[in-house]
Structure 1
Amino acid sequence: MGPTADEGLLRALYREHGGPLLGYVLRLTGGDRPQAEDVVQETLLRAWRHPEALAGRPARPWLFTVARNLVVDAHRARRARPPETGIDEQVVMTAAGSDDIDRALESWTVAEALAELSPQHRAVLVHTYYRGLSVAEAAKALGVPPGTVKSRTYYALRALRLALEERGLAP
């Protein structure tokens, strides 16, 4: 008996997205490979159970969002576990608030998206947004005309938005 269409979908998702998804989840879990593999497996299982969620849209942003939510949920579940379970909360994870974890996850995602931009786009965003330089100051620091800074900023923000949408983080 050959594989069903559902199994084919699952295999295709794993083949196309498994590696990047595992890398992403490894970063979210602080390098905990067994946990990351469990999260990837659960993410793909949810995609298999709900193929309608992927219909008519790119799969990767949905997969990355589900994986991120699973990591956050697992962290919150560990923090909510009563002391009589014998789990030492200090060993499992330092006591960071949920907002801190969410901000850290978003920061990693934005850093990944920035890394995908061209060096010129990344540089203009770093100068204008992260360093707070004016267009004129950024133009001087980058050695380009102010109009080029404006143009690069516009296209860099568009590229960054697309990269964030792929990761399920765009508004």
Structure 2
Amino acid sequence: MPKDTKSSNAISHWINAHEVALQRFIRSKTPDPAQVEDILQDVWTKLLEHPAPESIRHLRNWLFTVARNLMLDRRRKQKALCFSQLAPEVATNLDLYFNAWASAELPSDVLESQEFWDALQAELARLPPAQREVFVQHELEAIPMKELSLRSGIPINTLLSRKRYAVLHLRKRFEQLKRK
């Protein structure tokens, strides 16, 4: 039998012998089913690319080590997103934009009333100064967060967090005016 055929028979045997346990191991460490299959395929690729797979003394340990290293590599490659990058998605939840929430939730006659604007001014006065400042500048004066960050020297994520707290406070105060 030629060497390639003998080697491929051995690899097929190894795959049959270890695939279920290896797949179970990867699945226990990886929440995404699509990634489980990808990692498993990468493990078999590493085995096929190995210059002398027959020389691996403890094949099962080697396979599990390769799988663990591949999972770690994938986690390292996943970049953490900062809060400011999530802002458009968060905005759809209306957590950062009081005007959008108010337009969607409050009747237009309430929004146009002097009592609403007086109540908004009173509630803004109750906010901590840092929250009030970022809310007024971003929401009412329409100054972009990036510009606010450059002017103040405060990181965008901090400004977004302050604004979010302000919006949540205001929404809580104006809930009773929601459409029934």
Global fold match (TM > 0.5): no
TM-score by length of 1: 0.42
Larger radius of gyration: 2
TM-score by length of 2: 0.40
